[in-house]
A and B are shown apart, each in its own frame.
Chain A
Amino acid sequence: MSDDIGYWQVGGITLRAEPAREDCFTVVYRDADMHEHDDHSEAARRENLHRHMTNEMVSLEIAAACVHEFPDAPWELRMELARQCWDEARHVKVLHRRLLELGGYKGEFPIGTLEWNVTCALDSLIGRLATQNRTLEAGAMDVVGILARNVRDSGDNETADVLEGILADEVQHVRFANRWIKKLVSEDKRQLMKVASAVRFLIEANSKFQIREGGETNAIGVKLASPEARIPAVNVEDRKLAEFTDDEIHEILRQAGFRTLVPNAVPA
């Protein structure tokens, strides 16, 4: 076990090496190597929970690395990151509990760590906030918003409750990143270059691993659509809560083909 996590080269870019994993886990780098199902079977539900559980583990590790690797960051920002560690740790725990209730277990399916590999390759905290919190976690808000609704529609209220609880926490992780990015940029305009550079790096890194144009068949024989067809509907309500501006939301909607997650009607 090493104290230092190094770097690795792939396709001309430098990514952070993997965080430590138990032997029960098989780490893969492409969605095509995951076991994502296209149905509502028991295995599909467990794989979904397993994927979210291990993604939360990665989010915990990224937040923890930010706490450790940026000791000179403003204390209030370090507090936000420390709080995020607690949130992500609770998410791992609650998803593991639900996975066990459904008969699953750690290591049942392949997992990814790409968000860590990309985000923790960046050497600026504002770059990591822009990548992990503002982009990837904001994207997860879209995914979890839809997933919670679909899971509830399928009759699994327990899992839907878990996902909705997690979603509320994720809004705060995106919101504090939006606030701090704005604050840091307002204090030093050069920080904006780091944000732009980080987002470009994310796009470049993602392009090395994403589903190829025209789609692919994954490891269990499920046909996966092209990347542009896999963009989830935008969770406008939560993005507003996370303090994206109207212009930013409009741009995200444009990229998603103006597909939105319509808020649930509030019972009278």
Chain B
Amino acid sequence: MTILKSVSARADAVGTFRYVSVWLMETTARWTPTTPEMEAKVMFGRHIWDYAQMADALGKRTFELRRHEHFTLAPSAAYTALLKEAGAAHSTADRISALYDGILPGLIARYSDYIAGTDKILDEPTIVIVDRIVRELARQRAEADELKAVLKLAAGPGPHLATREKKVSSMLAEAAA
């Protein structure tokens, strides 16, 4: 785990987390009208607001870390490619699996790593935000599991995507890492 010592490094990490939160918001928003099942639309609709709040809190934090408010940084090329692949899922089963079993587990792990690697006192404001996000993402995964059972969805590409996600060493862009 990288130890985040500088304000600049923390700002880059938080800006990258914000990028991912906005991506999650926009992806679930794009999927809402193009996914047929009413129950899936309802879940995406709830999570759009979750992701917006995550992006908002992270964006306010970047300002405190000496960047402009809502500073946003694209992730590394490898991580961006994974997001693109997950976002291209077509069927309801593939979408739910790609997002909630493919992307979110790794995201929870990376956010937990951030919490472990930053200064517990100096960076406590970020820890509070990221810790809340981790718990909300875990709650979302549980909701997705319930939905899969209700809709009897087939297994999708999530586990495969999650395996590949683990092989991406850093989600931070090369310049920021």
Chain A residues in the interface with B (C-beta under 8 A): 1-5, 19-23, 57, 60-61, 64-65, 67-68, 71, 75, 78-79, 82-83, 85-86, 88-90, 92-93, 96, 106, 116, 120
Q: B42 to A20, Cβ gap below 8 A?
A: no
A82 to B91, CA, bound (A): 23
A79 to B59, CA, bound (A): 12
Q: A68 to B30, Cβ gap below 8 A?
A: yes
A91 to B44, CA, bound (A): 14
Contacts known (A3-B30, A64-B29, A65-B29); A79 close to B52, Cβ less than 8 A: yes
Q: Determine if B41 is an interface residue (Cβ-Cβ < 8 Å).
A: yes
From A1, A75, A92, contact of B41 by CB (8 A): A92
Chain B residues in the interface with A (C-beta under 8 A): 25-26, 28-30, 32-38, 41-46, 48-49, 51-53, 56, 59, 70, 88, 90-92
Q: Which of A85, A86, A96 neighbours the largest number of chain B CB atoms within 10 Å of its CB?
A: A85
CB distance from B100 to the nearest CB of A (A): 16
With a cutoff of 8 Å between Cβ atoms, the chain A residues found around residue B38 in the complex are: 22, 57, 92, 96, 106
Q: A57 to B52, Cβ gap below 8 A?
A: no
With a cutoff of 8 Å between Cβ atoms, the chain A residues found around residue B44 in the complex are: 64, 85, 89
- Can you add 12 more A-B contacts, CB < 8 Å, to A67-B29, A82-B49, A92-B41? A1-B34, A22-B38, A60-B32, A60-B45, A65-B32, A68-B30, A82-B51, A85-B45, A86-B46, A89-B42, A92-B42, A93-B42
A149 to B134, CA, bound (A): 43
Q: A3 to B90, Cβ gap below 8 A?
A: yes
Supply 13 A–B pairs (Cβ within 8 Å), ascending by A. Answer: A1-B34, A20-B34, A60-B32, A60-B41, A60-B42, A64-B29, A64-B33, A65-B32, A78-B52, A82-B29, A82-B51, A88-B45, A89-B41
From B29, B30, B88, contact of A85 by CB (8 A): B29
With a cutoff of 8 Å between Cβ atoms, the chain A residues found around residue B33 in the complex are: 5, 19-20, 61, 64-65, 116, 120
Q: Which of B33, B35, B43, B49 neighbours the largest number of chain A CB atoms within 10 Å of its CB?
A: B33
With a cutoff of 8 Å between Cβ atoms, the chain A residues found around residue B49 in the complex are: 82-83, 85-86
**Majority DSSP secondary structure for residues of B touching A:** helix
A21 to B49, CA, bound (A): 22
**Majority DSSP secondary structure for residues of A touching B:** helix
A107, closest chain B residue (CB): B38
With a cutoff of 8 Å between Cβ atoms, the chain A residues found around residue B45 in the complex are: 60, 64, 85-86, 88-89, 92
With a cutoff of 8 Å between Cβ atoms, the chain B residues found around residue A20 in the complex are: 33-36
A86 to B33, CA, bound (A): 14
With a cutoff of 8 Å between Cβ atoms, the chain A residues found around residue B51 in the complex are: 82
With a cutoff of 8 Å between Cβ atoms, the chain B residues found around residue A65 in the complex are: 29, 32-33
CB distance from B73 to the nearest CB of A (A): 16
Q: A75 to B29, Cβ gap below 8 A?
A: no
Q: A86 to B36, Cβ gap below 8 A?
A: no
From A1, A64, A75, A93, contact of B59 by CB (8 A): A75
With a cutoff of 8 Å between Cβ atoms, the chain B residues found around residue A96 in the complex are: 38
With a cutoff of 8 Å between Cβ atoms, the chain B residues found around residue A90 in the complex are: 46
B32, closest chain A residue (CB): A64
From B26, B46, B52, B90, contact of A1 by CB (8 A): B90
Q: Which of B42, B45, B59, B90 neighbours the largest number of chain A CB atoms within 10 Å of its CB?
A: B45
